[in-house]
Amino acid sequence: MIAKYKVEYAVPFHGHEQVQHYLTDDPVTCEGFIAQLLERGFKIKAVMHQGTELPKVDFDRLVKTAAGILSTSLICRSLGIDSSEAHHRFGVPA
């Protein structure tokens, strides 16, 4: 059985990249994983849904959501506030 989401990413190491993959059936978990990749600066090669690569529009939407998760997390951690306050004060996703 194919996982619903497959994220292919690469960790740069001494000028080389080895492509890794992450599998999950949960879209929220997939968004959270992509947020972690963004935070660490890893290269996102592709995101596949049920074995086919996501269209550019859907890929961009997924990355934008992950970036929102990351920005909320960073603001909450740095300012010591919860996500609802960060949303109210800065307009980031709750």
Q: What is the pLDDT of residue 55?
A: 96
Confidence band of 5 (pLDDT split at 50, 70, 90): very high
Please state the pTM of the whole predicted model. Answer: 0.87
User: For the segment 26-47, what is each residue's pLDDT rounded down to a tens digit?
Assistant: 999 999 999 999 999 999 999 9
Confidence band of 94 (pLDDT split at 50, 70, 90): confident
Give me the long-range contacts of 68-76 (CB less than 8 A, separation at least 24). 68/92, 68/93, 69/31, 69/32, 69/35, 69/93, 70/35, 70/38, 70/39, 73/35
Confidence band of 62 (pLDDT split at 50, 70, 90): very high
